[in-house]
Structure 1
Amino acid sequence: MTISDRSFITAHDVARAAGVSQSAVSRAFTPGASVAPDTRARIMDAATRLGYRPNLLARSLISGRSNIVGVGVGDLSNPFFVETLQLLSRTLDEAGLRLLLFPAEAQGGGEPSINEILHYRLDALVLLSVGLSSGLAEECRKAQVPVVLYNRTTQDHAASSVIGDNGIGARTIAAHLLAGDHRRMAFIAGADGSSTNMQREKAFFGYLAEQGATAPLRAAGDYRTEVATAATRQLLAGQDRPDAIFCANDNMAIAAINVARHEFGLDVGREISIVGYDDVAMAAWPAFSLTSYAQPAQRMVDEVLRLILALRDDPDRHEDVVVDGGLVVRGSSRTIRPR
């Protein structure tokens, strides 16, 4: 057999060479399918010798499934979503699924292009902290492509969602700052319209009000380093300078630490406490030692996979999953009353 002949190798050829049925060959290349180990070994050996590769397009036409999951991603400057994307890619691969990445558009609501998405046969669409418009939701419904929101929620049943417990997280941070006897707090908010930011902000302000504390100052950080940097400067240059800042994510908190320490000469963790959210890898770096509320990215990704598999069998299913996290206290915040 010449090299040029290899493009015509079929599952029938592999079955004959391995002495098995064609269905056995199909099962051997189907993740999770039941095949005896010695049979699988013979099939893989024959496939390698013949240069066989399964035709995924043909298999998708027969099964009605492509095993491709579209992932819409917005701003990858946030390390939390870079980590999530890596975990999601690996987790989907282990489940026999493939990831197809769609960048979210800067305009039009910050979502992936509808036309671009629907050019592909997708088993599901996952949106990583990207909003879901009614137009995209309707087109996905028509195409029978289930949608899973990651780190976002929606008011209707157009999509399922997986989020961290933002309410408990923000209340825990507020309690932590009150325990350190902070009197003048501030909140640097994320993007306007983000359900994640709204939940964290509402819980933080609400808990402080319940405890009779002074209402925090507020500045907009838009989840972006440069905007959070400007917001921190504005807060610290004011007459009523805060002694604690809660930032709606770690990216903004790291920017706040840099401004407080290097521009205003403040001793972060003593003169001012700064707390973030997500607990990205950089939070543990000695240069920042950032106190942060950890979101368990792997557990959240595992829930996304569970929903994808369930939604493929039941497209009308809807489920909102909340995964709990925990506060990781480091040197950027004080835990006792100052003397």
Structure 2
Amino acid sequence: MRNASILVLATGGTIAGQAGSATRRDYRPGQIDIADFLEEFAALGLPARMEGRQIANIDSANIGPAIWRDLHSHISAAMNDPACDAIMITHGTDTAEETAFLLDLTLPSTKPVVLVGAMRPADAVGSDGLRNFANAVRVAADAEAPGRGVLLVMGDQVLAARDARKTKTTGSGAFEGFPRGAVALANPASLDWLQPQWRLGEAARWQFPAEFPRVPILHAYAGQTADSVTRLVEAGAKGIVLAGLGDGNAPDAVRDALADAATEGLVVVRATRVDEGLVDREPEDDANGFVAARALGPAKARILCQVLIANGVTDPAAVQEAFSKR
């Protein structure tokens, strides 16, 4: 492991949380300052030079465009700083996949950017925060980490941002990757890459949005009616992501209303409320003007949809190309 210079941007979450008791179930996220966390990490003796900056100290349910913009600005500056080798972000797990994917879409892959969190607060029995952080440092400092886009380190696994999903409400093994599983296995003593670098030297795929367009997620359910769509259109939606039944399906009345919305220029993406599986194109998609989310779940489909609309990409064929790209 090389003695890398790593910038740590802290946003709070469970990794900075405290319960006040080692056995208490509930806790308060975002209680520990990054300077105190790094002081504890220094006692592990891993060869890395760390600079910490507190961007926020909150529950990740409250993270959104303002903090994303701040993170992107700090990371972009670090990308251009020859003294910085890698960037890490401490983050709550509830929205980590959205932040990771947004940054993956809008940053070059020239330096490692690694998100890390925890499922148990710092003062809980079996807290996983410090171990996850040590694993993330090993990943960020590794010479083979660039060229892989943004990575998420949780539970001794390294996941690509496009694949990472939170699949369990509790427990240290709460994240999985789909359609790829882990791209590496990490622990404080070792790191094993399972895939070669797939984005070597790649520039940012899209510009970071100046404004985030309104793109709601519509959850499909039995007995759903068309007014669930028309209300979103009337509220000013620029796109709609359907968290559909099965393979991105919805009741006929809802599909018809979504097709009408697409005719009016909205980007309409069919994803699924099912935990895992591809949503492929179907014969009616061309006529309806729909986009198939492929491997992206509703949360990340929404992020990509927002980025594309902000970059002026609204033609269904062009949007579909972006959803199909690995």
Whose helix fraction is larger, Structure 1's or Structure 2's? Answer: 1
TM-based fold match above 0.5: no
TM value normalised by structure 2: 0.27
Bigger Rg, structure 1 or 2: 1
